[in-house]
Amino acid sequence: MPPDLNPVPAWELRDRTFTWGARTYLMGVLNVTPDSFSDGGQFNSVAAAVAQARELTAAGMDILDIGGQSTRPGAETVPLEAELARVLPVVEAIRRDDDPVLANQVISVDTTRSAVARAAVRAGADLINDISGATYDDAMLATAADLGVPIILMHIRGTPASMQQQTDYGDLVGEICDFLNRQRKSAIAAGVPVHHIALDPGIGFAKTAAQNLDLLRQIRAFKDLHCPVLIGPSRKSFIGWILNQPDPQQRVWGTAAACCAAIANGADILRIHDGAAMADVARVADAIWRNVIPEDTDSV
């Protein structure tokens, strides 16, 4: 792969450096909700969430993405107090864990509310992942700027309750690029440094199965915006459509294929559920497409 002539500045979060393009970074999903599409109810107690955080960290996740609001198709918005009550105790418990590796793990808060973002960062979160691209809460971009943390801006139309009725695009990639570029410029205008912005085209959010496949093929179009690109294909319904598999937890192999495609086409971060399995996928895919051979690999 040719070198990037305009490399994106690295993120420095806690004890690690995110050098974009050097390898694929993995964001482990930690849904502390009763109703998420794949794992709702599995980790909605503090003890269960911390245990899953420990497992994801041991599997090599670079970021834990903690969310207290389901964004599955059809999901309704929960009250602010409920989201805070789900997210904050988990962030706080991770930060005071006896395991120093877990306690120092990079944490993202998956929220569209500036109040949740602010409270989570004060509790120990390191960045914000906003699936609305900061369109649901007018204060989100100013909050990210004030907190001095990175923000991931995702493309969506409508809300999770209505998005799958809004999949009519004249130019799928062009329209998504335009949206992300507008939100990127809005973030910069609000005081967010350009090197603190990552972008997500929103696989599964207001897209048909065929459109999701097209986005995976065209990830490099989003690289022209000169921000890290996050791709979240994990266990999504387009994989179930291809495999005729209604159970999201049985879509691991399909997720692996989608993750390989994302890496081959330039994704910087993968948001995934199956930590150990996708860590292996990323390690091999990085060796193939990024020529990244881990230092602990024996020569053969």
Whether residue 75 has pLDDT greater than 90: no
Task: Report the percent of the chain where pLDDT is more than 70.
Answer: 94
Q: Which residues participate in catalysis according to the annotation?
A: 236, 271
Angle between helices 275-289 and 252-264 (to 10 degrees): 30
Task: Report the percent of the chain where pLDDT is more than 90.
Answer: 85
The pTM assigned to this predicted structure is: 0.93
Range 207-220 burial, b when 16+ CB lie within 10 A, else e: bbbebbbebbeebe
Q: With the C-alpha atoms ordered 147, 67, 24, 93, is the resulting torsion angle positive or negative?
A: positive
CA distance 126 to 180: 22
Higher pLDDT, 160 or 38: 160
Q: Assess contact for 211 and 168: CB atoms under 8 A.
A: no
Q: What is the mean pLDDT of the chain?
A: 93
Given this model, what pLDDT does residue 37 score?
45
Instruction: Give 86-136 pLDDT, tens digit per residue.
Output: 999 999 999 999 999 999 999 999 999 999 999 999 999 999 999 999 999
Q: What is the pLDDT averaged over residues 7-11? A: 91
Instruction: Could you please state the CATH topology (level 3) that the domain comprising 22-289 is classified under.
Output: TIM Barrel (3.20.20)
Q: Assess contact for 10 and 17: CB atoms under 8 A.
A: yes
Domain boundaries, the chain: 22-289
Supply the DSSP string of 241-263, one letter for each residue: HHHT---GGG-HHHHHHHHHHHH
CB atoms within 10 A of CB 224: 10
Higher pLDDT, 99 or 45: 99
Query: Which pLDDT band, with edges at 50, 70 and 90, does 38 fall under?
Result: low
Of 197, 202, 173, the C-alpha closest to 184 is 197
Given this model, what pLDDT does residue 3 score?
44
